[in-house]
Amino acid sequence: MDSFLVQGLAGRKELSGSVSVEGAKNAALPIMAATLLVEGDVQLTNVPAIADMVSMTRLLEGLGVFVTRKNGDASVRAGDARETVLDAKLAKSLRASVLLVGSVLARHSSVTFSHPGGCVLGTRPVDLFIEGFQALGATFTEEGETYTLTAPSGLSGGEVFFRLMSVTATETFMIAATKAAAPVTLKNCAMEPEVVATAEFLKACGARIEGAGTPTIVVHPAHLSAPKESFRIIADRIEAGSFLILGALAGKDVEITGAEPEHLEAVITSLTSMGVPIEVRAKSMRVSAPPTLKPLHLRTHEYPGFPTDLQAPMTVLLTQSEGESSVWETVFDGRLNYIAELERMGADIQVWNPHKAVIKGKTALKARDIDGPDIRAGLAFLLAAAIAEGESRIGNAHLIDRGYERIDEKLGSLGLSVKRVSA
Ligand code: EPU
């Protein structure tokens, strides 16, 4: 397994240059899952070359779908795909495999799947999916951790109220509902840009969807066929936000291109209120590290609030602000699990409970050998290593590779010394 060796800048603010943002992982995954319901060859562009896309491609291939990928392009043809069982091993490595549950059920009236794995962010149940499909007439059975949903005469129309706002549940039901017998109303929906992008893709295929990006979405039954033009995946706001935070930590003059700043309002506002100078343009941003950073009380929230996926990188930044900051993680119950390692690097952080931590700054960080527990905490460790004194080894590179394309090259292009090594 690979690691990254990072030569820390020991507080020097000297990163400069331009770094580009890839297509959004969390938009590409649901859009790939939706292709199972689309007739013809779907052409996608700006598809990120990340490990999670390889897993999604293999899952689709296991279902009988033809996928070809070259550079940032993907071509997907569901053809006469017949398989109704999701590969258990792949599903264990990718929580987003659950996105396929709706597509397979809607296409074949039956789906068998294992409890999805993926990042360990606390308990990640699938109850919203089960309850929602039951509300649309499906029958649920389970054998251990293997679940089956069947709807022999197809999904009915009706209403699904999500007790919690869930990004992938909203996307899964929006996709599946295009094949229901009558209109489906989804309530308390997630409003993330990736939900809107998935709706835009479905609409480009002929779907009739109202309200994506608001709490209530109505989906009317429709035949889906491949759009004539290729469909472009939106920019990854989490990757862009990660580079903004890096620039705030160690940037002399960092430009982030190919971004969608309008999806980053909570992040830009938070950084600005800490004193970080950011110049926002239509599709790019410029950022540099201020002489001092003000503390911040950060609360993660569903979109348009501050994204939980940038909570760990932001915590690294808060270790560098003068005074007391806090982090309140409201989305997941196991997403502060990386903090002990930051403390080992010299950060002064008290974890009050699985949701709340108090950070006292500013503290110098020292290089360490550490393994990231998930994609985003792994990226946060790269940022911590970037500003630390000495050379750090950040293990579990394969987890960072799940969500970030060529991260070592990209950080290198800004002047950071990052080397990928085996073991
Ligand atoms: N939840 C339930 N029951 C369910 C589904 C979700 O209780 O059936 C809970 C979750 O446990 C969590 C909350 O609902 O406490 C919200 O989770 P959500 O379902 O929105 O998360 P997700 O859809 O599984 C997506 C992203 C995550 C991102 C979250 C929150 C994708 C593929 N994944 O996950 O991204 O953190 O939304 O914004 O879109 C990442 O990219 O590293 C990542 C983890």
- Give the per-residue pLDDT at 120: 61
Structure tokens at 331: 């989305």
- Give the per-residue pLDDT at 359: 98
Going residue by residue through the chain, which has 423 residues, state the pLDDT in tens, using 9 for 90 and above.
Answer: 899 999 999 999 999 999 999 999 999 999 999 999 999 999 999 999 999 999 999 999 999 999 999 989 999 999 999 999 999 999 988 999 999 999 999 999 999 999 887 656 556 789 999 999 999 999 999 998 899 999 999 999 999 999 999 999 999 999 999 999 999 999 999 999 999 999 999 999 999 999 999 999 999 999 999 999 999 999 999 999 999 999 999 999 999 999 999 999 999 999 999 999 999 999 999 999 999 999 999 999 999 999 999 999 999 999 999 999 999 999 998 899 999 999 999 999 999 999 999 999 999 999 999 998 899 999 999 999 999 999 999 999 999 999 999 999 999 999 999 999 997
For a substitution probing ligand 1, which of 168, 263, 267, 337 has the most ligand atoms within 8 Å of its CB? 168
For residue 52, give the ligand 1 atom closest to its CA: 32
| Positions marked catalytic | 119
Separation of CA 48 and ligand 1 centre (Å):
20
Separation of CA 323 and ligand 1 centre (Å):
32
- Give the per-residue pLDDT at 118: 61
- Give the per-residue pLDDT at 125: 85
Q: Which DSSP category does 405 fall into?
A: T
In Å, how far are 193, 212, 416 from 197, measured between CA atoms? 6, 9, 33
Separation of CA 261 and ligand 1 centre (Å):
22
- The candidate with the shortest Cα–Cα distance to 128, out of 173, 61, 95, 175, is 173
For residue 96, give the ligand 1 atom closest to its CA: 32
Residue minimizing CA distance to atom 36 of ligand 1: 309
**Residues whose beta carbon lies within 6 Å of some atom of ligand 1:** 25-26, 29, 95-96, 119, 124-129, 164, 166-169, 190, 194, 307-309, 331-332, 375-376, 403
Residue 247 · residue 256 · CB < 8 Å: yes
pLDDT tens, position by position, 310-352: 999 999 999 999 999 999 999 998 899 999 999 999 999 999 9
Count Cβ neighbours within 10 Å for each residue of 249-259 and write b for 16 or more, e otherwise.
bbbebbbbbbb
Query: Hey, what long-range contacts does 64-67 have (CB within 8 A, 24 or more apart)?
Result: 65/35, 65/36, 67/32
Residue minimizing CA distance to atom 39 of ligand 1: 26
- Give the per-residue pLDDT at 144: 85
List of E strands, 47-116: 66-70, 73-77, 110-114
- pTM for the complete prediction? 0.97
Helix, strand, coil percentages for the chain (3-state, nearest 5)? 35, 30, 40
